[in-house]
Amino acid sequence: MWDIVFSLAIFWGSILGLGMLGKLTNSLWHLRASLQTREPEGHARPHPIQRLYAKAKGLLYGYLILPPLFGSFHRRLLFGDFIMPTRIEALVIFAFWALNIMLCSVENQVIIKRAPDSAHVTTVASLIYRRTGKMAVANLPWLWIFGARNNIFQWATGWNFSTFNLFHRHIARVVLFEAIAHAGAETWSRINQGKYAQMFSATYVQVGLATIIAMGLMVLLMSSIAFRRHYYEAFLAAHILLAVVVLVGLYFHIPTSHPEYQPYLWSIVAIWAFERLLRIVKLVYCNIRLTFSKHVLQVSKCLASWDPASDMVKVTITLAHDILTPKAGQFYFLYRPVGWKGWESHPFTLGSYTRAGPKQLVFWIRPLDGWTQHLREVCRRSPGLTTATRLFVEGPYGHPARLCHFPRVLLIAGGSGISSVVPYVEEHVHRASVTPVTGESAVHTRRMALATRQLDIVWCCPQRSLLYAVAEAELSPALSRNDITMRFFCSASSGHTSSEEGTISEVDVLVAEGRPDLKAIVSETAREHGESEDCGELAILVCGPASMADEVRMAVVEATRNGARIEYFEETFGW
């Protein structure tokens, strides 16, 4: 058993270790480049080693890390329900499957050769039965680790939740196939021994079958992306319930004569309990504050307003605590504590936040179904389409991209994906407004250092009203800045001309009709950055529909293969 445990630990430890090393190397690279960019002379020529590193990184990103395994589908669903992994993700998945097949076979081949011919079939079945059972149990802790919301490895590697969730789903599939092989080999052995009739009367067999059925429902039905997106609440409840069934079933399935398997089950319980405890701690910390000196209990407040023209609900939550430090690129889970479905939570990207006074978090929500649709209906029936409701937040989650380290940044948003872009714009304006000082505030000034000289925003939205609403509010401080350019596109068909100008906060903003040519925009921006003398890379961040993300990704792949120095960040819809 220990050989299996060590093999899996070495495999995943190596994968995670490479991810941590890559994050550390990339962070040091960008930090050095940003320091050179901020030198008094304005520009610094990159060192030959930096040019070599940039060349190697470009090839790695252009041919292995960014491209999908085949074609151009990555965020878009293939055949309606399948995600095409990137090439580097596919290599990890293929290696994991190969390792499990090898570990299920290597010990068996040696013993089978020594077995007498008369007992050959029974020996083969018995070996497969034992080996696959061990493999399934040994994989379970990693299944829970990769599925955890609070995961220290996400922070250490910088990988997003979707990457961990992809590995989580493939581990689950491997465990299911190993469990099926385990049950099939036991059945085969009993048939050859003439004991098939008595097999199903055993309690461990009955609970074993129930466990496999629960695994099958989770893997084959619940892992369907279409099912999760259309019936998220049902998926969440069923996933938790079936996971409990699997753990309880394994506890009664594993005989007491094999106590060596019990630590693996209890390790899963410990991982799950600790992760759930962290969720509760974050939930209480963000939303409840007890002042013992004044005997006052403060709770987070929420204000929701609906805009009929854009069909967007703007949720503003005033936190009970002021200690929390929101950052661009983070997301939070929202709960409705009032009601019998108070345990449900939905993830939303942080759209904006206040820096002074009470900490307020702003979220833009597109009502689809379930409680988001209910929230819209509550706003619609309220005076002024605004209502005070009760929503709790749990977080923060996600890994903010350090865009301030890049000399030029291109932000691309689609629809409500502007919620991910706005905090980065606000951060840029805030950092640029900090005047270099000396003395006690010098440390704070160094923290707020900004290497970005040019920030470009491209936003395509079908609702013209949403374009103007956000521009007049959250983006208004950035409209008059010389280091920020904005290009807005309205993709919905209307009676307007090919382009028109709207006056927003005394600044003319051009809103073009139709969809932007994202490939041309990425190519042109990369060419302009390549012609500059900045030693840093061009940062491109996209947040929008899956089709937009894939289009930008493939444009970045082509540009990096042509020698462009680009760092790509992607925040897409869907969970």
Q: Are 30 and 50 in contact (CB under 8 A)?
A: no
Q: Which of 45-59, 387-401, 408-422, 511-525 has the lowest mean pLDDT?
A: 45-59
Q: In this structure, what are the phi and psi dihedrals at residue 76, rounded to the nearest 5 degrees?
A: -70, 145
- Alpha helices, DSSP H only, in 333-395? 371-380
Tokens 């005033």 found at: 318
Tokens of 3: 């050989």
Q: Note the pLDDT tens digit of each residue in 189-198.
A: 888 777 777 7
**How many CB atoms sit inside 10 A of residue 170's CB?**
20
On whether both 511 and 464 belong to a single domain, the answer is yes
**Residue 177 lies inside a defined structural domain of this protein:** no
Tell which wins on pLDDT, 222 or 22: 22
Question: Do 422 and 366 fall into the same domain?
Answer: no
Query: Domain check: are 421 and 390 in the same one?
Result: no
Pick 323 or 407 by higher pLDDT: 407
Whether the per-residue pLDDT at 410 is higher than 80: the answer is: yes
The model's confidence at residue 294, banded by pLDDT at 50, 70 and 90, is: low
Tell me the pLDDT tens digit for each residue of 146-168. 999 999 999 999 998 999 999 99
Find the mean pLDDT for residues 400-425: 93
d(CA 46, CA 89): 31
Are residue 431 and residue 514 in the same domain, yes or no? yes
Q: What does R_g of the chain's alpha carbons equal in angstroms?
A: 27
Q: Residue 6 belongs to what domain range?
A: 1-66+401-575
For the beta carbon of residue 182, count every other beta carbon within 10 angstroms.
23
DSSP type of residue 483: T
pLDDT number for residue 235: 86
Is residue 311 domain-shared with residue 430, that is, in the same domain?
A: no
Query: Do 458 and 541 reside in the same domain of the chain?
Result: yes
Does residue 238 sit within a domain?
A: no
pLDDT of amino acid 340? 65
Give a yes or no: residue 574 inside a domain.
Answer: yes
Asked whether residue 511 is assigned to any structural domain, the reply reads: yes
Least confident range of 149-158, 169-178, 235-244, 339-348: 339-348
In this structure, is residue 390 part of a structural domain? yes
When the pLDDT of each residue in the chain is averaged and rounded to a whole number, the result is 85
| 284 belongs to a structural domain | no
Helix 203-216 and helix 161-193, axial crossing angle in degrees, nearest 10: 150
Examine the fold and report which residue of 397, 431, 455 is the final residue of a domain before the chain moves on. 397
Give the CATH number for residue 13: 3.40.50.80
Helix %, strand %, coil % of the chain (to 5):
55, 20, 25
Is the N-terminal amide bond of 436 cis, ω within 30° of 0?
A: no
Instruction: Look at strands 507-513 and 484-490 and give their pairing.
Output: parallel
107 falls within a domain: no
Last residue of a domain, one of 382, 397, 412: 397
Percentage of residues in the chain having pLDDT higher than 70: 86
The pLDDT assigned to 36 comes to 62
Exposure letters 249-266 (e unless 16+ CB within 10 A, then b): bbeebbeeeeeebeebbe
Q: For residues 416 and 466, state if they share a domain.
A: yes
Residues 486, 524 within the same domain: yes
Residues 426 and 365 in one domain: no
Q: Would you state the structure tokens that stand for residue 377, as one six-digit string?
A: 């209906």
Mean pLDDT throughout 508-520?
88
Indicate whether 262 pLDDT > 60: yes
Kindly state whether residues 380 and 498 are assigned to the same domain.
no
Domain count, the chain: 2
Predicted TM-score (pTM) of the model is: 0.89
* Higher per-residue confidence, 338 vs 74: 74
452/366 same-domain check: no
State what percent of residues in the chain have pLDDT above 90: 51
pLDDT score for 120 = 58
Q: Which of the four pLDDT bands, split at 50, 70 and 90, describes residue 449?
A: low
Burial class (CB in 10 A: 0-12, 13-18, 19+), 436: exposed
For 41-50, what is the mean pLDDT?
60
Length reported for the chain: 575
Q: Do 559 and 518 touch, CB atoms closer than 8 A?
A: no
Examine the domain organization and report whether 337 and 320 are in the same domain.
Answer: yes
Q: CATH code at 378? A: 2.40.30.10
Domain edge (last residue) among 342, 365, 397: 397
Provide the pLDDT for residue 500. Answer: 45
Has residue 464 been placed in a domain? yes
